[in-house]
Amino acid sequence: MIAIAHPQIGPEEQEAVAKVLASGQLAQGKQVEEFERRFAELCGVTEAVAVSSGTAALHVALLAHGIGAGDEVITTPFSFAATGNTILLVGATPVFVDIEPDTLNIDPAEVEAAITPRTKAIMPVHLYGNPADMDRLMAIAEKHHLAMIEDACQAHAAAIRGQRVGSFGTGCFSFYPTKNMTTGEGGIVTTNDAAIAEQARLWRSHGQKVRYLHTGIGYNYRMTDIQGAIGVAQIEKLAGFTERRLANAAYLSERLGEYVRTPVVRPGHTHVYHQYTIRVPRERDAFQAALAERGVGTAIHYPRPIHKQPYYQERGFDKALPVAEQAAEQVLSLPVHPALAQADLETIAREVIALCR
Ligand SMILES: *Cc1c(COP(=O)(O)O)cnc(C)c1O
């Protein structure tokens, strides 16, 4: 079976981890510091705060912006649940608005229509690694004095006219093993705002500016030096990984273009293909099963929009968001990761075409 994801771990990561283990400094230390410096550089921002997961990054970013009870955050329902869950975890209300039918990213017109006096932030997701329409979203945020928190968990090194995602507002990235780069588990918050970075550091570690002096409360969301060392090794390989993803996606688009639809990439946007996701207009689940029989692993991102999750339905979030709901019934992600061989790509294209005919 051709796997849908395949983390790229080599001798560089193994050696880096062995060194940390031998050093005795296992928790957050010099490796995390180095990783933060390198990741900030990658995004073109002044500050990066490494944490234990992408979910922790979203949570800490919301807390650092002072978002809490009584506040509303406008976001997309077509994402991993963490996007909505972290808004609920800080005591705020997620306001789900519909997505654009062509990109599957949050629709700026819907965002603007949903603003109320309680709105504090916009949280777009750069879905599948394809940047959301930040030109229009940033204009809306500035006009209404809203914070911008980018869920860039799938979009390492994605960009708009060369400007990296995670540098428009406060960026949140994940390093889960299936993502474009990994630290096992891990996440990071990126920002050009020193005050936001300082708040994020306090929330990451029990509100301590100095050890055992707690000016606030907080969590233990620290990244270990073991993860930091893997991250430094991975960041050196990221450009190569991204190149392979782009080449794999270009091959699939060339072969499949006349048979299937994929999300549109806006002019000037660099999509980093965390996922290569097609629309299967009819009987998607049977299509997926048939591909599995033919040796092609796939996944559905996502089978149920967040506002349709039982927890959210029970709490009155279940309104009609038809574009997201239709997408959830049709999307199917094909393997696009950097470990695919040319023969794998040919198999994927051949079997998808055979099922479309
Ligand atoms: C992976 C992901 C997250 C959560 O990241 P974790 O590291 O798994 O906590 C959040 N949002 C999106 C869009 C993701 O893809």
Are 93 and 242 found together in one domain? no
Q: Which residue out of 179, 237, 308, 319 is catalytically annotated? A: 179
Does residue 76 line the site of ligand 1, with CB under 6 A? no
Are 164 and 203 found together in one domain? yes
Does residue 52 line the site of ligand 1, with CB under 6 A? no
For residue 76, give its domain range.
11-97+104-232
Pocket test for ligand 1, best of 55, 123, 156, 175 (most atoms within 8 A of CB): 55
pLDDT in tens, 108-118: 999 999 999 99
| Residue 5 covered by a domain | no
CB atoms within 10 A of CB 28: 21
281: confidence class by pLDDT, cuts 50, 70, 90: confident
Residue 72's pLDDT is 98
Are 274 and 332 found together in one domain? yes
Cβ atoms of residues 333 and 298 within 8 Å: yes
Side chain identity, residue 64? A
- For residue 185, the ligand 1 atom closest to its alpha carbon is 7
CB atoms within 10 A of CB 11: 9
Gap between the Cα atoms of 32 and 51, Å rounded: 9
- Domain closes at, from 232, 254, 278: 232
Number of domains the chain is built from: 2
Are 33 and 80 found together in one domain? yes
Beta strands 147-151; 170-174: pairing state:
parallel
Cβ atoms of residues 229 and 33 within 8 Å: no
68 has a pLDDT exceeding 90: yes
Does residue 53 line the site of ligand 1, with CB under 6 A? yes
Does residue 125 line the site of ligand 1, with CB under 6 A? yes
Q: Is 179 a catalytic residue?
A: yes
Instruction: Say how many Å lie between the CA of residue 153 and the centre of ligand 1.
Output: 5
pLDDT in tens, 121-153: 999 999 999 999 999 999 999 999 999 999 999
CATH number at residue 311: 3.90.1150.10
| Residue 36 covered by a domain | yes
Gap between the Cα atoms of 211 and 208, Å rounded: 6
Does residue 50 line the site of ligand 1, with CB under 6 A? no
Are 137 and 222 found together in one domain? yes
